[in-house]
Amino acid sequence: MKLYIIRHGETQWNVQRRLQGASDTELNEKGVALAKVTGKALMDVPFYCCFTSPLKRARETARLVLNGREIPVYPDERIQEISFGDWEGRESALLPPSMLDNFFHHTERYQAPEGGEELSQICARTKVFWEDITSREELQDKTILIASHGCAVRALLQNVYEDASVENFWHGKVPPNCGVNIVEVRENKAILLEEDVVYY
């Protein structure tokens, strides 16, 4: 099994540095262009099916990357982005500095805002998705596209990284928009072949 795990294209909230989380934002013009370029680069990859976060920005990225291919696309809430609860939509500059510092640089100290998710929660639900997909007998020899979000992608990859830990959650950085992580799974062993590849 080979998995192409992609973060969605750019949105206006990315540009404005606003917390998106579970908010259902759309791709901006640049985000559409990035997804199309990525789709062109992956046009020869024989995708069997696609799993996508149900949020518009991920679904649209998947649609543009697949570029008309007639394959099954399955929305799955388990790979939706982390929720920031009451802080969704707020500009980064208006947030407590410690919140962003902990979220991106000291993840072991991060505490979710009211109504939001902890990192342990997104790791738990993406792990359930991971174990489900990678154990399906009919998918063992298939190539699959997974369209998701920055934090959700890193949570998924906790099942792959040899040095996985809450302290090293981001593995050096947030995945770039339309960044692709390519993972091979054989006999329950996952190997990261490419990390955060961009084609633009």
Taking Cα atoms as reference points, which of 168, 124, 177 lies closest to residue 150? 177
Burial of 162 (0-12, 13-18, 19+ CB in 10 A): exposed
- Residues sharing a CB contact under 8 Å with residue 195, sequence separation 6 or more, in sequence order: 171, 181
Determine whether 81 is an active site residue: yes
- Residues sharing a CB contact under 8 Å with residue 153, sequence separation 6 or more, in sequence order: 5, 6, 7, 175, 179, 181
Catalytic residue among 81, 117, 149, 171: 81
Determine whether 106 is an active site residue: no
Catalytic residue among 8, 10, 60, 117: 8
Q: Are the beta carbons of 178 and 61 closer than 8 angstroms?
A: yes
| DSSP reduced 3-state for 16 | helix
Q: Are the beta carbons of 100 and 108 closer than 8 angstroms?
A: no
C-alpha span between 148 and 119 (Å, rounded) = 16
Name the amino acid, one letter, at 45. V
User: How many CB atoms are closer than 10 A to CB 147?
Assistant: 31
Taking Cα atoms as reference points, which of 149, 200, 140 lies closest to residue 174? 149
Catalytic sites, residue numbers: 8, 81
